[in-house]
Amino acid sequence: MIAIVRSEWLKLRTTAVPWVLAGIALLINGLFILVIFLTHNGGAGRGGQGGGGFASSGDTIPHTTQQLRNLLGSGFQGYLFALLLGVLCITAEFRHKTVTTTFLITPVRPVMVAGKLITAAIGGAVLAIIMLVSTLVGGGLALVGRGGSFSALLHQVPAVAPGMILVFILFAILGVGIGSLLTNQVAAIVVTLGWFVILEGILVSLVNGAAKWVPTGAAEAAANLTRNRGDFSLFLFNWWQGTLLMLAYGLVFALVGSIILTRRDIT
């Protein structure tokens, strides 16, 4: 299994897909950081004078614990890219027919799916760390540039990082599960984005109590591993229940996908 994961990791690394995904995630993260600072500035800056870069008093930059955590967690939106990473690492094999070579190396197909689950989980964790580091650098620079405290931001890492890494891992695993069920790349991406961007929100607003059961709700709960966002948490499971529910989604999909794959003719 170690050999398979190492091979899968090389496979992931040597195509453009993960780099493009990480690049887009970073770009979006940069925009979020910008928005955080602009909106903070916006309130105070409106009354300020022209050339007002000096309005760096306490309440124009993130400084409360919650504000700093929100800043550090700006990369959270990247979970969608962890999900796509999981989806693509399996559907790309079918799209480019490399799955033939993969199955020649690993003829027992569930073993291959297991290898991808582990590899995508690692990839998800790496993506989370990239988002955190980029936020620390970008957000930190902006913070310090406006007279804020970098160490205060750094202080929030233990409260934000573990939950974020966990959520990215869970989404990457879910992605592999979806990909093993829907091996057609276009179909898999359309269904994934359709669910997480549109359908899930509609379901949650229509069905009472659905919020805690849908993947995003479960992941939101899992994110509370190390920080407690009291306002949301009322409607959600606690962190380990959310984690188990997310894992269950991913692994059940992967299991059913593996069974279907085992019977499938690779022509």
Partner 1 sequence: MPSAIEVHGLTKHFGSVHAVEDLSFEVDTGRVTGFLGPNGSGKTTTLRMLLGLVAITSGTATFGGRTYEKLHKPTHHVGAVLEATSFHPSRRAEDHLKMVAIGAGIPLSRVDQTLELVGLSDVARRRVGKFSLGMRQRLQLATALLGDPEILILDEPANGLDPQGIQWLRTFIRYQASIGRSILVSSHLLSEMEETVDDVVIVSEGRLVLQTTLADLAGRAGTSNGMRVRSPEIGRLIEILTATQVGYRPTAPDTIAIDGATPEWLGPVLAQNQIVVYELIHDRGSLEDVFLNLTQGFASTFPATAGAGAGPGTSHAGPTPMPGGVS
Q: Which residues form the interface with partner 1 (CB under 8 A)?
A: 3-4, 6-8, 10-11, 14-16, 92, 96-108, 263-267
Vertex 206 angle, CA 246 and 228, to 5°: 45
Closer CB to partner 1, 111 or 256, in the complex: 111
Q: How far is the CB of 184 from partner 1 (least distance, A)?
A: 17
Q: How far is the CB of 18 from partner 1 (least distance, A)?
A: 11
**201, two tokens:** 């929100």
Closer CB to partner 1, 102 or 183, in the complex: 102
Q: How far is the CB of 176 from partner 1 (least distance, A)?
A: 17
What number of residues does the chain have?
A: 267
Q: How far is the CB of 192 from partner 1 (least distance, A)?
A: 21
Closer CB to partner 1, 87 or 174, in the complex: 87
Q: How far is the CB of 17 from partner 1 (least distance, A)?
A: 8
Distances (CA, A) of 2 to 7, 58, 111, 171: 8, 51, 11, 22
Q: How far is the CB of 53 from partner 1 (least distance, A)?
A: 44
Closer CB to partner 1, 16 or 202, in the complex: 16
**Contact 132/69 with Cβ under 8 angstroms?**
no
Q: State CA 1 to chain mean position distance.
A: 25
Q: How far is the CB of 207 from partner 1 (least distance, A)?
A: 40
Q: How far is the CB of 134 from partner 1 (least distance, A)?
A: 24
Closer CB to partner 1, 131 or 261, in the complex: 261
Closer CB to partner 1, 103 or 232, in the complex: 103
Closer CB to partner 1, 31 or 108, in the complex: 108
Closer CB to partner 1, 95 or 155, in the complex: 95
Q: Distance from first CA to last CA of the chain, Å, rounded?
A: 26
Contacts 24+ apart (CB under 8 A), 52-59: 56/146, 56/147, 56/148
**Contact 180/90 with Cβ under 8 angstroms?**
yes
